[in-house]
Amino acid sequence: MTNLSPANEPSLVDEAEAEEVARDRAGGAPRSGWRMLLPTMTPWLAVGLVLVGVITLFGIFGPYLVGDPRQIRDIGLTPPSADFLLGTTQTGQDVLAQLAYATRGSLQIGLLVGVLATALSAFFGIYGAYRGGFADEAFSLLSNVFLVIPGLPLVIVISGFVPRESRGLWTIAVVLAVTSWAASARVLRAQTLSVRNRDYVAASKVSGEKPWRVIVVEILPNLLPVIASQFVFAVIAAILGEAGLSFIGLGASNSATLGTMLFYAQNGFALSLGAWWWFVPPGLVIALFGMGLSLINFSIDEIINPKLKNLRQHRRRARKAARLERELARAHRRSRPQEPDAVREADGAKEVSAR
């Protein structure tokens, strides 16, 4: 150490920094790490959450409120009435009851596949990229292979191969998950490659963190928005994929889903008989659920890409400024024209809004 005396240490420099601290503190309460991960509330997000929430609640509690969906009556194909809110099928089964059970089945499979596919993609994407070398090469070869396999034909082949009796919910979920994780794994791999070379990862290694802690505590949180978005997308894809499979008669044998409802509606000539109450509700639930999840996904995108958020904030700020200006101009007109304070105020506001 040379001539740096400790006496001059709390110098101007530190005061300048102290000022910065004070200014930062005025900026508002600190947000915790988890809080930062949540998307900001927007009309789109609200609509998405309401749609997904209502359909989920319907799927969870609906089956308790309706009768037996399999009960056959001698009133085939009755349009919606007070007794049967969504009418009946060809064999007199209650469509509303079927819809409730089918929604539950579809949500189950969506959630199951979402979790499985996300876990697979996280493992192959993050672990491979973090380890590098041979593990990375092997894992990315594997995900590349799965990426180029045409998904739907493979799903059809696998589902057709498994005998109908043993083709349960889990079989379908595993088949859908195995064919849908690869794209997400590649995105996660790219993201991990970028994150693992950041200084804070090196710093935590230098402090002596164990590899699994570096991955789980230091790297993973920074990938959470991406993973959340992929999860939501995987759920949509799974519900649609399962509906497609069931529609062509290759779905799970022991469960009722929206796809099987459509399958029976198709088989019962609902379309040609004009029984819209049979095929519109399940189609609508699929469409609305997909739309709700997509809207949520857009909001998650804003966390991944903050530019989108800034764009919205800019627009809002511009609108607010314009409103302020209009109000001040109105106030100015109402007050006496020679009032100097009002003039100055209005000018000030104009300056603010111009910025």
Q: Which residues bind other proteins (CB under 8 A)?
A: 1-2, 4, 6, 8-9, 11, 13-14, 16-17, 20-21, 24-25, 27, 30-33, 36, 198-200, 202-209, 217-218, 221-222
Q: Measured from the CB atom, is 9 or 351 closer to other proteins? A: 9
Kindly state the smallest distance separating residue 244's Cβ from other proteins, in Å.
38
Q: Residue 13 or residue 152: which is nearer to other proteins going by CB?
A: 13
Closer Cβ to other proteins, 22 or 148, answer by number: 22
CB of 195 to other proteins, least distance (A): 10
Smallest distance, Å, CB 225 to other proteins? 11
Report in angstroms how near the CB of residue 142 gets to other proteins at its nearest.
24
Cα angle for residues 108, 299, 103 (degrees, 5° grid): 20
- In whole angstroms, the minimum distance from the beta carbon of 194 to other proteins comes to 12
**Beta carbon nearer to other proteins, 217 or 311:** 217
Round to whole Å and give the CA distance between 285 and 236: 12
**Which lies closer to other proteins via its Cβ, residue 22 or residue 354?**
22
CB atoms inside a 10 Å sphere around CB 184:
24
| Secondary structure of residue 86 in the 3-state scheme | coil
Q: Which is nearer to other proteins, 207 or 272 (CB)?
A: 207
Cβ proximity of 225 and 303 under 8 Å: yes
In angstroms, give the least distance from the CB of 7 to other proteins.
11
CA distance 15 to 18: 5
